[in-house]
Structure 1
Amino acid sequence: MSTVVSSAFGAEVLRRGIEGNPDTLLALYADDAELRVVDRNSQPSRPMVLHGRDEISAMLDDIYSRDMTHKLENCVIQGDRAAFTESCQYADGVRVLAESMVSLRDGKIVEQTVVQAWDE
């Protein structure tokens, strides 16, 4: 991702990032953020773990290069914690649902755990 956008975490900036601007989404992560993904391929005992904005950026580049839509369904923010639901749909109709829990520091995501499932 080439453009860095300065943003503090909030429901509307999260929506803009998820629904169409991965640069905005990436700007929500602290430089030292850790993202854990649990799904069919990365089960709870061995989650995929990404460290730092560079690794997270590479994942977002991959995701947002695909022919799919993304929608923020729900978002709850309380203090230095937030939880949100994201639904996605590929052009062929396959759907993905992801639930995230994040920890925040100074308005940036420092830890995120994503549990996701998709149609098979």
Structure 2
Amino acid sequence: MGTGFTSEMLRQGIEGDTAAPLLSLYADDAELRVVDRNTQPSSPRVLHGRDEIGALLEDVYSRDLSHTMERCVVDGDHVAYSESCRYSDGVRVLSESMITLRDGKIAEQIMIQAWDE
């Protein structure tokens, strides 16, 4: 496994009140691919670098939304986890992510998400 990355660090980042702790886990040149109802597998939303990923995380963490890491498996330089979110009005979001680490930082992430409609 890359130096320094732990599932507890990921949990603290995800369940924190701001985007900063989670963003600190990403490499400067990280790539995040998001697949959901609006950005399907043939045309995922692709974010490049900490600036683009940070903008997304800032938007997400500015909402009235709780985040819980449900499960996490770390195997060498690969991490898989489930995240459950809930808006104050009860709307739920579920995401599954697969991460590749490089030097203890998130280098690549694929996130598949679904939410109540």
Q: Which of 8, 13, 16 is 2:12 aligned to?
A: 16
By how many angstroms is 1:23 displaced? 1.1
Alignment of structure 1 residues 1-120 onto 2, 5 Å: 8-20=4-16, 21-120=18-117
User: How many percent of aligned residue pairs carry the same amino acid?
Assistant: 67
By how many angstroms is 1:8 displaced? 3.6
Query: Structure 2: which 5+ runs fail to align?
Result: none
Runs of 4+ residues deviating >4 angstroms:
none
TM-score, normalised to structure 1, is: 0.92
CA distance in 2, matches of 1:53, 1:25: 11
By how many angstroms is 1:9 displaced? 2.3
Total equivalences in the alignment: 114
1:18-64 CA-partner distances (Å, limit 9, x unpaired): 00142111011000000000000000000000000000000000000
- Counterpart of 2:28, as a letter, is D
1:72-97 CA-partner distances (Å, limit 9, x unpaired): 00000000100000000001000000
Provide the alpha-carbon RMSD of the alignment.
1.1
CA distance in 1, matches of 2:58, 2:103: 25
Answer 1 or 2: higher relative contact order, Cα 8 Å, separation at least 6. Answer: 2
- Counterpart of 2:44, as a letter, is P
CA distance in 1, matches of 2:66, 2:107: 25
